[in-house]
Structure 1
Amino acid sequence: MNKKTAILVFANSSKEELLNKPIIGGEKLFTELTKKTLRVVESSGLPFFVFTEKNQSGSNFGERFVNAIQDTYALGYENVITIGNDTPHLNKKHLLDSAKQLENKKFVLGPSSDGGFYLMGLHKSQFNLSTFLELPWQSKKLAKSLSIMIDTSKIEVTRLEVLHDIDSLEDLKIIAKLSSKFSRILTTIISWIINAEKGIFDRSKQLKGIYLLSSFYNKGSPSFMAYV
């Protein structure tokens, strides 16, 4: 076991996740995703810490995330691997490969398909609290700003494969096409959410059709019919 490296799981509770990701059935989805993530983390054999809204500190996402990294280093670890709970294709190999690269003081990034990252691994010498606080967290500028920071510091970077994370229903639909290796319960939840959304869409179209049909046969005032 690599006792110098710790995994930081930065994940809010399902109820908190739904405030930023309003997905039908999302509470069950994020509960199961968190369970899956923790199983993967435990299988790596590396020490890990989970930061939810209950033990995060800061007034915004950037502060909370950066402070969590700082808190993990304060426990005596030299390397930190940060992940979330919304990347279902994350596996043990991603974590162990990252830990191996960190032994050589490489900066590790796992890029996500939306331009952000699902994993970041760094040695404590590469972490500067004020610099990281200034990054444009939760914006499309993050990847570029992070790249500039790395290039300026002349840090050698190792990039993992691109994975999809879940921020919206559209992301979930993409994930569903790649879900052959998911557990039965997670696959069932994803299918249910997509079918539920489709059902609402179909029902909406049906109601709209009924409304238009009733309007067409309406024998109301000439002024109204003139604009139908």
Structure 2
Amino acid sequence: MKTLDKKIALLVFALSDEEEVKRKPFLAQDTLAKSLNKHTKDIAVQSDLPVFHFDETKQIGDDFGTRFSNAIRSVFDEGYDGLIAIGNDCPYLQVNHIHQAKAILENGEAVLGPTYDGGFYLMGLSKKDFDYRAFLTLSWNTNKIFEEFFESLKTRRIECHSLEKLWDINYLSALENLVLHRIRNARLRSSIQSAVKRRSTNYFVSKVTELKLLHFTLFNKGSPVFYFFQS
């Protein structure tokens, strides 16, 4: 099998600590935003792939789909044949997920890592399978993006593999779904544990189940808007 070791890049599509806190105020608790970004940075370094980090200073476009598509196109314009895209909102993400995706890409196939909220925490795609215009038409701001993306590839007869389904953190109540012992990063685990304990301090809604009814989630990396009612 012909490998693409030096032609696959890792795209980290994630906002800075400061910008994440503006979008998702609960991430300010116990330096959770910093812990998530540090965790993602560590995973990127461990991947041994060339890394391209697109935060809000490098993202171009008026909506998520445009910004994400432009970032992908920029990486491919650097001469890479494939890329793996991740964000900073999946505490379960490990380097083995990157390596699994890389192996699938080397086999000429696409790969997605689904999340329980209908999005995905990882996307692996080759340059030949990237359709810029088609990307712009996808429903990035809905809980159907994984299914829609998967079906769009299937329609074009592109084989797509799915990694294990994981939880990500797009809203406060999602913290309740996490199993702490599965999070290997001690700093991140501690931040999440503290944030869960203090969740009722900063928001007037007393029950986590009520928070689920109030959130509007824009899926995946660099989500542009996040609505929460603060006291």
TM-score by length of 2: 0.81
1:74 equivalenced with 2:77 (yes/no) = yes
Letter of the aligned partner of 1:101 in structure 2? I
| Aligned positions, number | 204
Larger radius of gyration: 1
Residue 122 in 1 paired to residue 125 in 2?
Answer: yes
Q: Is the 8 A contact 1:110 1:117 kept in 2?
A: yes
For 1:18-48, what per-residue CA distance to the aligned partner results, in whole angstroms no more than 9, with x for missing partners?
2332316347111111111111111111111
CA distance in 1, matches of 2:203, 2:23: 22
- Does the alignment pair 1:195 with 2:200? no
Do the aligned residues in 1 keep the contact of 2:91 with 2:183 (CA within 8 Å)?
A: no
- Asked whether the equivalents of residues 7 and 47 of structure 1 are also in contact (C-alpha less than 8 Å), the reply is yes
SS of 1:23's partner is: helix
Check whether the contact 1:113–1:164 (CA below 8 A) recurs between aligned residues.
yes
Contact (CA 8 Å) 1:10, 1:52: kept in 2 or not?
yes
Question: Does structure 2 conserve the Cα–Cα contact (< 8 Å) formed by 1:18 and 1:27?
Answer: no
What are the ranges of 5 or more consecutive residues in structure 2 without an aligned counterpart? Answer: 208-231
Q: Distance in 1 between matches of 2:153 and 2:168?
A: 23
Residue matched to 1:30: 33
Q: Could you tell me which residue of structure 2 aligns to residue 173 of structure 1?
A: 176
Q: Is it true that 1:105 corresponds to 2:99 in the alignment?
A: no
Once residues 66 and 171 of structure 1 are traced to their aligned partners in structure 2, the CA distance between those partners, rounded to angstroms, is: 27
Q: Is the 8 A contact 1:24 1:197 kept in 2?
A: no
Q: Distance in 2 between matches of 1:150 and 1:34?
A: 30
> Which residue pairs with 1:135 in the alignment?
138
- The verdict on how the C-alpha distance between 1:153 and 1:200 changes in structure 2, with shifts beyond 3 A counting, is closer
Name the residue aligned to 1:226: none
8 Å contact from structure 2 (residues 83, 125) kept in 1: yes
- What is the Cα-based RMSD across aligned positions, in Å? 2.3
Secondary structure (helix, strand or coil) at the match of 1:125 reads helix
**C-alpha displacement of 1:185:** 2.1
Q: Is 1:182 equivalent to 2:189 in the alignment?
A: no
Query: Structure 1 CA distance, aligned partners of 2:57 and 2:129?
Result: 27
Change (3 A) 1:58 1:27: farther
> Quick one: which amino acid aligns to residue 194 of structure 1?
V
Q: List structure 1 runs of 4+ shifted beyond 6 angstroms.
A: none
Q: Distance in 2 between matches of 1:24 and 1:82?
A: 22
Residue in 2 that maps onto 1:94: 97
**What secondary structure does 1:122 align onto?**
strand
Name the % identity: 39
Residues of 1 paired with 2:53 and 2:27: CA distance? 25
Query: Structure 1 residues 140 and 184, CA, compared in 2 at 3 Å: closer, same or farther?
Result: closer
Unaligned runs of 5+ in 1: 206-228
Q: Deviations over 1:144-192 (max 9, x none)?
A: 32122112101111110001100111111212x2345433322221122
**Counterparts of residues 33-72 of structure 1 (less than 5 Å):** 33-72=36-75
Structure 2: how far apart are the matches of 1:24 and 1:12? Answer: 12
SS of the aligned residue for 1:54 comes to coil
Is the Cα contact below 8 Å between 1:15 and 1:27 reproduced in 2?
Answer: no
The one-letter amino acid of 2:44's match is V
Higher RCO, 1 vs 2 (CA within 8 Å, ≥6 residues apart): 2
Quote the Cα distance in structure 2 between the aligned partners of 1:24 and 1:95: 25
